[in-house]
A and B are shown apart, each in its own frame.
Chain A
Amino acid sequence: MNFLEIHSLSKAFDGLHAVENLHFTVKKNTITGLIGPNGAGKTTAFNLITHFLPKDSGKVVYAGENLKKLPAYKVVQRGMARTFQQIRLWPNLTVRENLLLACSREYDSWWKSFTHTNEAHQDTQIDEMLDKVNLRKYKNHLASDLSYGQSKLIEIARTILTDAELILLDEPASGINPTLLRTVEDLIFELKKQGKTILVIEHNMPFLMGISDEVVVMENGRFLMQDKPEKVQSDPRVLEAYLGG
């Protein structure tokens, strides 16, 4: 079953066609890779799918629903959450606060300020998550104290804690050391085991081909192919896209 369907998605910036007539599908409970040379339009595609950028045309169907012009925050509430290529934590908030904000929305209204807000349940959730990424001891540090790799893990953790069903990761492996890379890999596999669906942009080919069930290739804003990793790796069009790009 297709959990996510992209139909003829397009976006141009001042005449530059960053994404053009893009289409692909993501099946439920799979890990799908999204690759393409620098500037192929992968991040732009993420921005369009998650509605952080308005699309020029095209259709995004998530869990059977045409998302039309749903605001980005509502897309997240529907169960589709993403990370950013340029990490977006709240630097002046602690790690705990960064994660708490993802955990629930039940206390977000100002009038809840006066009733007892017990966040013990969320704290348990956060502790479990921090243990998984080995960052428990940073719980009360400011996010700005974290290293690049640590920030990356916390951003992924935050995205998972929104309780999303479909998780979009924009280059989770870039710029992090092999140990952290293993942690990321474990996290992604665990998500799949829990029944979640994952779409990953990545330039680290051994990593991506190792975890993906299917891979989508983009070139110059367009769809090039979608197939099993083995097929994609040996396809001459893909090789050419990378060498020619």
Chain B
Amino acid sequence: MLEYLLSLLILTTIWTLLTQSYNLSFGLTGLFNLGHIIFYGIGAYTAAILNTDYGLQILPNLIIAAVVCGIVAAIFGLLTLRLSGHYLAIATLGAAMIAIVVATNWMDLTNGPLGIRGIDGPILFDLQITESWQILLLFLVIAGLCQWTLYKIFHSPFGRLQRAIQDDEIAARAVGKNTFLSKTWSLVLSSAFAGIAGAMYTHYRLFLDPTIFALPEIIFLILMIIVGGRGNFWGAILGTILVVIIGEIPRFFGFPDSIIGASRNILFAALLITTMFYRPKGLFTLFAKKAT
């Protein structure tokens, strides 16, 4: 039971970072990148390959995963962000499908559907971390640093500009802002942090296969952000925790495995609809930092 709880806490720490990363591009800037999950997957695969093929450990892998995802996102941004929002959605969705094909078929690199096994757990300067509570602690520190960075970005003039772009991009240009560049940076940063979350996942799960690119997961990210309030920093964190807790309810009440998935989805749908009807700005508007 304790082991299960620790595992849930570790995963929640990773998911919270993933949600927050999406909260930057989707929540704050209003970019409709339906393929955000690919950056999670690319980060995860980057770490897995670097570890199993090149013997690199978690810390360098986190950084390299961030850089790789940032570069891929920059290419997407430069190609699509000058066009209307639909292009980004279509391009990232398309890329996600390509990513699945690559992960499934490029056997030499990814070992295909069999997945990559034998990944090292977190090793810090030759110190192997094996206990779950130690991993949780380490991940809280790493994710905490990332969250702090994102907090700074959210509440900076750059963050203000992102909210302005979401509200009315033309008005932002009318005061001399290079909105194309700003949106691209938002996408790059957002993707880099998703890559870090993916690399953390790899070094926790120690096994990786193409299901990491599961596209429908984007629904959960959107759910967590809508529940928390788009662009609301603390909302994304509380939204993720709330969704995790609600997702555990069927198991907690001993529902049979066969209907756990379905009953979860019903609860999530109810949560989404309730939020959109009664609290369109999110359940946690109370926690919203006063505008800067």
Binding site for B on A (CB under 8 A): 50, 52, 71-74, 76-77, 81-82, 84, 88-94, 97, 100-102, 105, 107-110, 112-114, 117, 119, 140, 158-159, 162
B164 touches A110 (CB 8 A): no
Name B156's contact: one of A71, A76, A91, A113 (CB within 8 Å): A113
Of residues A82, A92, A119, which shows the largest number of chain B Cβ atoms within 10 Å of its Cβ? A92
B174, B185, B292: the one contacting A110 at CB < 8 Å is: B185
Per a CB cutoff under 8 Å, which of A101, A109, A114 touches B172?
A101
Residue contact A73 to B168, C-beta cutoff 8 Å: no
**Of the residues B152, B160, B176, B179, contact of A97 by C-beta under 8 Å:** B160
Is B106 interfacial (CB 8 A cutoff)? no
Nearest-neighbour CB distance to chain B for A223, whole angstroms, equals 26
User: How close is A225's CB to chain B, nearest CB, in angstroms?
Assistant: 30
Whether A110 pairs with B291 at a CB distance below 8 angstroms is no
A91, A97, A114: the one contacting B291 at CB < 8 Å is A97
Q: A76-B173, A108-B161, A109-B158 are in contact. List 14 more A-B contacts (CB 8 A).
A: A52-B173, A76-B174, A84-B171, A84-B174, A90-B163, A91-B168, A97-B292, A101-B164, A102-B176, A108-B157, A108-B158, A113-B153, A113-B155, A113-B158
Question: Of all chain B residues, which has the CB nearest A162?
Answer: B175
Residues of chain B lying within 8 A (CB to CB) of residue A77: 176
| Bound-state Cα–Cα, A102 to B175, Å | 5
- Name 14 A/B residue pairs within 8 A (Cβ), A-sorted: A52-B170, A73-B173, A73-B178, A76-B175, A77-B176, A89-B171, A93-B164, A93-B167, A94-B291, A97-B292, A110-B153, A113-B159, A114-B152, A119-B157
B205 within 8 A of A: no
Instruction: Tell me the complex Cα distance, A168–B173, Å.
Output: 15
B247 to chain A, nearest CB (A): 30
Chain A: minimal CB distance from B279 (Å): 15
Contacts of B189 in A (CB 8 A): 110
B117 at the interface (CB under 8 A from A): no
B170 contact set on A, CB distance < 8 A = 52, 88
Given contacts A88-B170, A93-B291, contact A112 B156 (CB under 8 A): yes
Query: Within the assembled complex, what's the spacing in Å between the Cα atoms of A89 and B149?
Result: 29
- Residue contact A101 to B158, C-beta cutoff 8 Å: no
**Smallest beta-carbon distance B157→chain A, Å:** 4
CB under 8 Å from chain A, chain B span 126-151: 149
CB distance from B73 to the nearest CB of A (A): 14
**In the complex the two chains form, is A73's CB within 8 Å of B163's CB?**
no
Query: Complex formed: what's the CA distance from A6 to B18 in Å?
Result: 51
Residue of A82, A91, A162 touching B167 (CB-CB under 8 A)? A91
With beta carbons under 8 angstroms apart, the residue of A50, A107, A158 that contacts B157 is: A107
Residue of A nearest to B171 (CB): A88
Q: Which residues of A contact B167 (CB under 8 A)?
A: 90-93
Bound-complex Cα distance A119 to B155 (A): 13
Is the pair B175, A158 in contact by a Cβ cutoff of 8 Å?
A: yes
Interchain residue pairs A-B with the least CB separation, the first 5: A113-B156, A76-B176, A107-B157, A90-B167, A88-B171
> Which residue of chain B has the shortest Cβ distance to A107 in the bound complex?
B157
Among B157, B160, B177, B291, the residue within 8 A (CB) of A73 is: B177
B285 within 8 A of A: no
- Determine which of A88, A108, A110, A140 lies in contact with B177 in the assembled complex, contact meaning CB atoms within 8 Å: A108
B163 close to A92 (CB less than 8 A): yes
- Write out the residue numbers on chain A whose beta carbons fall within 8 Å of the beta carbon of B175: 76, 81, 101-102, 158-159, 162
Residues of B within 8 A of A162 (CB): 175-176
Q: Tell me, rounded to whole Å, the shortest Cβ–Cβ distance linking A199 to chain B.
A: 15
Residue on B nearest A158 in the bound complex, by CB: B175
Contact with A along B160-198 (1 / 0, CB 8 A): 110110111011111111110010010001000000000
Q: Which residues from B are CB-within-8-Å of A72?
A: 173-174
Measured CA separation A119–B149 after assembly (Å): 20
Closest CB of chain B to A118's CB: distance in Å? 11
